[in-house]
Every structure is written in C-alpha cells, then in structure tokens.
C-alpha cells in the first residue's frame, strides 16, 4: 500500500507537467496541421467536413445528459476528428453543410480511453471513440490524435466548449488514502502483536 501511495505521488507530478504543457499551448500561435503534428501542439486545420458528427454520451458541467460532438474533417488526404464542443440534444448537419471548407485552431490530445466502467458502443449509443472501427468506416487514414476545438468555427450550432481544457488531478487524494490505509494497518498490527 505504501508503494501505491508513492506511485500516486509520481502520477501527481506527471499530471502537473501534463497540465503545464497543455496550458503553454494556449499562448502559442497555431502551426499548420501536418500528418506528423505532435501531441499537445496547437494547430490550424484547414479542410472539409467529411461526415455527420459523431455524438458521444457525456455529462455536462452541471451533470446534465448530453453529447460530446466530434466532427470528422478531411485534410491532407486524412481524417482528423475534431471535438467541436458539447450539446444537450442530438443533431445532424444539413446536406449543405457536408463537404464545406472549414478552418479552425485546435490543440491535439489523446482520445479518451475506454475503461472497465464504460459500456460498449451500439448502433444507437456511443460511449467512447473507437478509433479502429472509425478507421474502417471512413476507409481513409485516421489521424491518431483528437483535435480539441479552440475557435468559433462551429458557433452557429450552439455548442458549448470550456474556456480551457481541464484535466482531473486527484492523485494527491489517492496518495493520502493509500498512506492512511497503510498507517492504520500498521497500528492495528502493532496492537494485535501487543495482545499476543
């Protein structure tokens, strides 16, 4: 348990550095998106909307049900998924919105991983971005990172997006929990030994 607490402190430092890297990206000028653009870099994406938005179930800031909106954009002969924002109700693009040219600034992030508590996707409900399945569906190369929208390119759809990308950082609480459990077990063991 002590080692688990130490591991959480290491994770705490890693998360702080990660948040710092992302924060620095906000102040940088966007560079033209390339197929070799790096994680956490701020890029300018110019391309066309390649398909209908992908709506992934996610709770809003106040716990209300809704969807993260991922818009596939084709650029440089590849597809990049842009997380455009959050919305309460499902929607689709009109035909006139498909294949239109679009330009936006974004920060490149890793897609969220499916964990043991995440339900499987179905035809009607999507709970996580399955990059392998999408690659097959698009029949084109899919860029492995997600572009977090930082522009107003999708303003007319009333999508909500945070002022800054926020990452949960609860590793200090986790570390204290493991250390506390370790301390309690040691005290209980000592008391038990004294009674023998």
> Given this model, what pLDDT does residue 108 score?
92
d(CA 71, CA 132): 17
Residue 135: per-residue pLDDT: 87
Q: What is the pLDDT of residues 30-45, one digit of tens each?
A: 899 999 998 888 999 9
Instruction: Identify any residues that bridge with 156 across adjacent strands, giving them in sequence order.
Output: none
CATH 2.40.50 segments of the chain: 33-163
Tell me the percentage of the chain whose pLDDT exceeds 90. 24
Q: 57 Cβ partners below 8 Å, 6+ apart?
A: 65, 66, 67, 125, 126, 127
Q: What is the pLDDT of residues 68-96, one digit of tens each?
A: 999 999 998 899 999 998 998 888 887 77
Which range, 1-15, 68-82, 160-174, has the best average confidence (pLDDT)?
Answer: 68-82
Span 117-151, pLDDT tens digits: 888 888 888 999 998 888 888 888 999 999 999 88
The token pair at 82 is 């842009």
DSSP notation for 58-83: EE-TTS-EEEEEEEEEEETTEEEEEE
Average pLDDT, the chain: 80
Please name the helix (run of DSSP H) or strand (run of DSSP E) that holds residue 187, with its range, or none: helix 171-195
**Could you tell me which CATH number the domain at 33-163 has?**
2.40.50
């Amino acid at each position: 348990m002590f080692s688990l607490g130490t591991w959480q402190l290491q994770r705490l430092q890693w998360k702080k550095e990660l948040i710092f890297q992302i924060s620095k990206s906000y102040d940088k000028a966007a560079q033209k998106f390339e197929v070799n653009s790096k994680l956490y870099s701020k890029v300018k994406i110019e391309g066309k909307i390649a398909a209908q938005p992908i709506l992934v179930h996610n709770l809003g800031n106040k716990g209300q049900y809704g969807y993260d909106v991922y818009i596939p954009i084709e650029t440089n002969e590849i597809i990049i998924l842009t997380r455009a924002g959050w919305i309460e109700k499902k929607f689709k693009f009109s035909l006139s919105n498909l294949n239109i040219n679009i330009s936006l600034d974004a920060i490149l992030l890793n897609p969220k991983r499916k964990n043991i508590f995440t339900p499987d996707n179905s035809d009607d409900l999507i709970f996580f971005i399955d990059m392998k399945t999408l690659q097959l569906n698009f029949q084109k190369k899919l860029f492995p990172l997600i572009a977090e929208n930082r522009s107003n390119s999708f303003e007319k759809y009333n999508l909500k997006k945070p002022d800054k990308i926020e990452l949960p950082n609860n590793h200090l609480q986790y570390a204290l929990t493991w250390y506390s459990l370790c301390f309690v077990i040691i005290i209980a063991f000592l008391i038990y030994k004294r009674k023998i």
